[in-house]
Amino acid sequence: MKIRRCAVLYIESREQLSIDWRAVLAGASGLAADSHWVALAPHLDQELTITATELAALGAISQTVWRERAHCEQDHGEACVARLLELGLLIGDTPQYAAARERDETLRATHWRPLSALAHTFGRWREVTSENGMEAPSFEALLAQFGEPPPPTLDLAAHGALKLPAAPSGLLDEPLLHRYTGRNFDLQASVPLAVAARLLQRTFGAQEVRTVGPHSSVLKKTSPSGGGLHPVEAFVLVQRVEGIAPGLYHYHPIAHELRPLRTFDAAHAAALAKQVLADQHWLADAPLQVLMVGRMERSFWKYRNHQKAYRALALDAGHLSQTFYLLAAEAGMPAFVTAAINDVDIERMLDLDHLRHAVVAVCGCGPAAAGPRTMVELRYGETDAI
């Protein structure tokens, strides 16, 4: 049997603090620290505590070159090698260790930059709710907790500053100035089918398809994309769109179709929206939501092991969300975008592999509720936040 180390592995030193009351009573410092090592491996999607002996073995065994297990056991001990194989930090070439090897080879084949794979894997949320982390936005609470924020602008020395002429008006002024993040949606209102169709087509749809090889094509969309690859897919969660049953759909950008994944009743759709949005009910009430999912293999096909590839993917989602905002404003509706989402829950809903797909953000829109607002909104031309 041959073994090698997993492709991407980071080791973190952590410590657990405790109080030694005997030392305190004796007049000495009573703070004690217990240090240990934690292994972070994106292909395993979990943190693992390891010993110093196991750390030394991982540092000595190649991630590329296969070695005979017996030789590694001679150097590091049978028990050490067996435990690292059991954890999945060492990869074996026999059927017994096929599951860990398959995950490791998926990571290698996708051409992740190691640091990006680490940040992506361990930055995802699962099962976050209002009870264990999510809170409603409140400037007052933030001010009370953290004090005054840094100033809203960077004010460098004004000596020699060039005063610019007033910005002339233009065709984009109306949607630009009236776009805002909605947090008070009308629970009884629906998005008209024609509006939903325009939102999806003009934001996520292909305006042109251009052939670049015998079997290859690229899409022309209304937002820029790193390398012109457009790796972000739109999965649509419908709650209240005229003529469309509540459910989860994939939007096909060329065919301009919503292809159903699952349909369900309105109550189930509402519960799913809250789960997706980590209990942010002020966003979950929006009748139309889009889950933006990056296809890593599409982006990393060009940007292999690239320092900026993951950042470019996040920028893609930002560009798309602003286009979505402007189209919603054009239709007279507020919109939202948030990265505070339960990524892992979404992966399970859509049957996605986090090594191949990145759930980046969720955007949505819908008619605003009439009457007094209960959640903070920053609308253009208003003097009060709500």
pTM of the full predicted structure?
A: 0.90
Q: What angle do CA 284, 235, 326 make, to 5 degrees?
A: 70
Closest CA to 335 of 231, 227, 185, 232: 185
What pLDDT score does 384 carry?
Answer: 59
Instruction: Write the DSSP symbol of residue 180.
Output: -
The per-residue pLDDT for 19 is 82
Write out the DSSP string of 11-30: EEEEEEEEE-HHHHHTTS--
Question: Tokens 């994944």 appear where?
Answer: 261
> 257 is written with which tokens?
């179709």
Q: In degrees, to the nearest 5, what angle opens at C-alpha 92 toward C-alphas 90 and 95?
A: 140
The separation between the first and the last C-alpha atoms of the chain, rounded to the nearest angstrom, is 66
Encoding tokens for residue 293? 């999912």
| b/e 174-185 (16+ beta carbons within 10 angstroms → b) | ebeebbbbbbbb
Residues of the chain with confidence (pLDDT) below 50: 386
Q: Contact, 40 vs 10, CB < 8 A?
A: yes
**3-state secondary structure at position 49:** strand
Question: How far is residue 216 from each of residues 122, 134, 220, measured CA to CA in Å?
Answer: 34, 43, 14
The token duo for 31 is 């703070």
Residue carrying structure tokens 């809250």: 274
- How many other C-beta atoms are found inside a 10 Å radius of the C-beta of residue 188? 10
Q: Which pLDDT does position 233 carry in this prediction? A: 98
C-alpha 358/C-alpha 302 separation (Å) is: 17
**Residue 137 pLDDT:** 61
